[in-house]
Amino acid sequence: MKKSIIAAGVGAFVVVTVMLCTNSNGKMYQKQKHFDTVNDVLTQMENNRIQVFDEYGNEKETDEIKECLSKRKRLTFSQLYFNKIKIEKVEELDDKQKELIVDDYNKAQQRLSLPYNKPTKIEPVRLEIKATPAEPHIDNNNKTNQYTLDLVMVDEGEGMVIDYCVEQLNEDDDDNEAARHVEG
């Protein structure tokens, strides 16, 4: 009797989980814009707020920024914890730097347990930005900080989008690696 109740409970749990995971009722944000170039995505990022807070105080991306994100990032969370950014410089990357960023991206993709279609185009980008943190993360009176932001832009068939982000806070001390935040 106990085994049958446990089996029924596990079966119900599996069915409910599958139904929730395959829910296609449009809960995920559907892209409206098609970005042909990396610069189009960067312009969209710079001209709009990245994070806002709903009436319950929950952090969320703006719809304008969701246009810049891959399906995976829209489904989960962009992990760009900024209110607004100003792009100071788009760095020219040599082949070795591009390879290192793409290798990190590929390693992050391998850690995913979900099937993920290989993008048709992959472009690594390194930005020097000034950013203000999102409201709950504000300290030092809304201080603007300098960051280095490594992005991997991919084309999933809906135009160029951000699928990988690594941020590094640029502080005056010599230990910049301690401030690095890898976000797959």
Say how far apart CA 153 and CA 38 lie, in whole Å: 7
Examine residue 139 and state whether it is found in any structural domain, yes or no: yes
User: Looking at residue 28, what is its pLDDT?
Assistant: 64
Residue 26 lies in a domain: no
Which amino acid is located at 93 in the chain? Answer: L
Q: How far apart are CA 61 and CA 78, in angstroms?
A: 8
Question: Tell me: the pLDDT tens digits for 94-124?
Answer: 999 999 999 998 888 887 766 667 788 999 9
Q: Is 12 part of any domain? A: no
pTM exceeding 0.75: no
CB neighbours of residue 70 within 10 Å: 23
Q: What is the pLDDT of residues 20-67, one digit of tens each?
A: 666 554 566 777 888 999 999 999 999 998 888 888 878 888 889 888
What pLDDT shows up at residue 157?
Answer: 84
Q: Is residue 15 part of a domain?
A: no
In a domain, 21, yes or no: no
> Number of folded domains in the chain?
1
Domain that holds residue 61: 31-183
The pLDDT, as a whole number, for residue 177 is 46
Question: Is 17 within the bounds of a domain?
Answer: no
